Amino acid sequence: MTATTVGSIPPDVAPPDDPFRYGWRVVRRDIGDGHLEEELIPLRLIDLLHPEEGDQVIQNYAHQRHVRYLADVFQARVAGDPHAVVLADMRIAWDVPELKAHGPDVMVIFDVRELRNWGTFDVAQEGTRPAIIVEVTSPETRKFDLYDKVEAYDRAGVPLYIVVDAVERQGKTVIRLLGYERVMSVYQPLIPDERGWLWLAPLRIWLGVRDNEVYCFDEQGKQIGDYTELVEHLVEAEERAATAEERAATAEERAATAEERAATAEERAAIAEERAAAEAAARAAAEARVRALEAELRRLRGE
């Protein structure tokens, strides 16, 4: 493993003025007569490395955003496999002696026999283990992700371990990626390509950093958006479709109006023709009567 500067190590116990800095655990005690008493116990830093079910761990916004994005993209990539599952912030118990449980940020697991409402994913009971684990570092737990978990996940037989590392450099947070893959039953660094991207073979995607943000990319290098971006694109597409339908409806209305106008013009022309014919017939009849009267007058005169 390459050497990494971790910086100052936070204390294992949260400070007295902020006892729940790392999170809390609910402890229930039987006080007799069927009554239980609940107490919130502050978590220690070591509890974040080896959590128990129900622990409430405090995470910063950037950490939550990265985990949510990665879990959503990974889930979309395995959506067609009924025996694949993506778990986020889920406790996992190993089948390796003396290896305590962990709570990885994101796990991709294949060959799952049955989807269940896990509180802890028990590797021995389920008969399968994660193909990929991703940890996103936070200041308090960065040491665990860069050192302790590399050894632990290697011993647990996890084929691919990725660290999204947030490094503090001159007052700014810089995102970098570290990867490890099991080669000959031992972890070796996962070599990035010329762009600095890591290839996640089980998911057929690249993981890379762009504009100091971690993103997934498809095999052609096209960036995969998060759920919010997909929804925004869907809304835009629906709005464009609605606008096109409105335009089509308006065009149909105009065509119908034009047809009505054309029909009205035809009717007017027909009426005008009928009127003209009636007037011509009336004139002809009147002229005929005049001629008849004139002839009768001439006859009476003996002309």
Q: How far is CA 12 from CA 49, 166, 219, 265, in A?
A: 11, 21, 43, 91
User: Mean pLDDT over residues 83-101, rounded?
Assistant: 97
0.85 surpassed by pTM? no
Across the chain, mean pLDDT equals 87
Handedness of CA 146, 152, 154, 160 (dihedral sign): negative
Residue 300: which pLDDT band, with cuts at 50, 70 and 90?
low
Q: What is the mean pLDDT of residues 195-219?
A: 97
Each residue's pLDDT tens digit, 36-89: 888 999 999 999 999 999 999 999 999 999 999 999 999 999 999 999 999 999
Band (1; pLDDT cuts 50, 70, 90): very low
pLDDT band per the 50, 70, 90 thresholds, residue 15: confident
Tell me what pLDDT residue 60 has: 92
DSSP calls for the chain = -------SPPPSS--TTSTTSSEEEEEEEEEETTEEEEEEEEPPHHHHHS--TT-EE---HHHHHHHHHHHHHHHHHTTT-TT-EEEES-EEE-SSTT---B--SEEEE---SS----SEEEHHHHT--EEEEEEE--TTTHHIIIIIHHHHHHHTT-SEEEEEEEEEETTEEEEEEEEEEEETTEEEEPPP-TTS-EEEGGGTEEEEEETTEEEEE-TT-PEEP-HHHHHHHHHHHHHHHHHHHHHHHHHHHHHHHHHHHHHHHHHHHHHHHHHHHHHHHHHHHHHHHHHHHHHHHHHHTT-
246 — pLDDT class (breaks 50, 70, 90): confident
Averaged pLDDT for residues 182-210:
96
**Average pLDDT for residues 171-190, to the nearest whole number?**
95
Residue range 179-196: mean pLDDT, rounded:
96
50-225: what fold?
tt1808, chain A (3.90.1570)
pLDDT for 30 = 81
**In the predicted model, what is the mean pLDDT of residues 176-181?**
98
- Residues 252 and 80: their CA atoms lie apart, in Å, by 42
